[in-house]
A and B are shown apart, each in its own frame.
Chain A
């Protein structure tokens, strides 16, 4: 179960661990949805497809993101011959869960073969045409079209039912019964199928009444029936040579495949593998180029640091020569910290580099190269490290360590003053620590400076939860 607000996984507690919203009602709804899903599964297992469809639709009305229910509903539609409805459900399922979803496999099965999809479309068009013909009174045309439809898609329940209805209308009850039996095998409790079967039962069309069926079929001979004259010809006994010929044919066919077709397939596989090798080589070349570019950047940064060091030494000498006081230790220390940050970055210790860089007051940097270096390092480090600091702070906040989390959030905001998540949770941490004035300050800052963000909306809600500001005595 996932939180409907922030999407994080719910724990056994009644509140979401991430956003803190009350989940009691939602958990009840999800449990009922799961029960409907289980009912749908049991009904599908016994081929009660109509019942399964209703149960799964109820499940999705309660929880539209129930991927398993949606995928199963798609499968059931596919089984009943409603391919487009099935595709619709799988597409929506992928929309809600794009990774690790069975719907990918089902969609590939249907879509990977374009001619198959075209066949499906032709069947649907023929069915629609048959229905239109039936409504216009052209029963014979409709029957011909529907027989074609059910021969291509024998599980198309609606087509089987319509064909049976047309036969009942034309008083060809035996044929109607045959198609209704096929529909009942696909979906055992379909109401329409059962209603038509009941109608045939009332008309006396029974399964085991064979003499009556023969009479009835004689009475209802139509132009389409083929009449074979009865004779006393006895079927010949099974011919063993036919089987021998069959086996020989299979052996010859297998030999032909091994000689003519398999080498071709193997050649294609080898070509495919060669293609893969070429692609991997290209990837390797690309990665080498990227590595070289990164090395080049590293060298450039190292040169800048060396240059900067020289500049600092020159400055110190020049000022000594002039007889001025040596530059204040604090002014030099800001360059030292910058150097340390640059060295840590070159050693790929990004967190340490960011922590050092945050201590550098950009306004105190007078040398142009130092400012450039600061700009490059902050561009590379601050955004990512700000997010890391926020995540670290959020973990501490979730564990109830609010004061420790405040330090991480402060670091995140220093690195990226637009980090609205860090600002929001700073407010939340103060709120939890019952320091309501600080909390109010942070919520108001979010609302005033970032009014269009989601966090500003949440901050408005949290503001209402704060106790009223004490009135100032005049």
Chain B
């Protein structure tokens, strides 16, 4: 039997259109390629 309160807590509020700009700005755009570049830079600087 599913727990109603527990299931209800899993639902999140959706972003409204005027909140889209903040959401995009806060989006962390680092990827694995960036991490590898940083590691290579660190190794070169040693």
What residues of chain A have their CB less than 8 Å away from a CB belonging to chain B? Answer: 4-5, 25-26, 29, 60-64, 82-85, 87-88, 91-92, 117, 120-121, 124-125, 127-128, 131-132, 134-135, 158, 161-162, 165, 168-169, 192, 195-196, 199, 202, 461, 464
Contacts and interface: CB of A to CB of B under 8 A. Distances in A.
B7 A165 contact: yes
Contacts of A165: 2, 4, 7-8
Interface in B8-46: 8, 10-11, 13-20, 23-24, 27, 29-34, 36-37, 44
A27 B13 CA distance: 39
A199 B1 contact: yes
Nearest to A129: B13
User: What are the nearest 10 A-B pairs in CB distance?
Assistant: A64-B31, A84-B15, A121-B17, A169-B4, A128-B13, A62-B32, A124-B14, A84-B20, A88-B24, A4-B33
A158 B15 CA distance: 13
B31 A162 contact: no
Interface residues of B, number: 27
For B2, B30, B34, which residue has the most chain A Cβ atoms within 10 angstroms? B2
Nearest to B17: A121
Contact of A26 (B4, B17, B33): B33
Q: SS class of chain B's interface: helix, strand, loop or mixed?
A: helix
B8 to A, nearest CB: 6
B33 to A, nearest CB: 5
A84 B23 contact: yes
Nearest to A464: B44
A402 B17 CA distance: 56
B11 A124 contact: no
Given A117-B17, A124-B15, A135 B8 contact: yes
Contacts of B18: 121
Contacts of B2: 165, 168, 195-196, 199
Contact of B11 (A85, A131, A202): A131
Nearest to B30: A64
Contacts of A85: 15
B44 A461 contact: yes
For A29, A84, A124, which residue has the most chain B Cβ atoms within 10 angstroms? A84
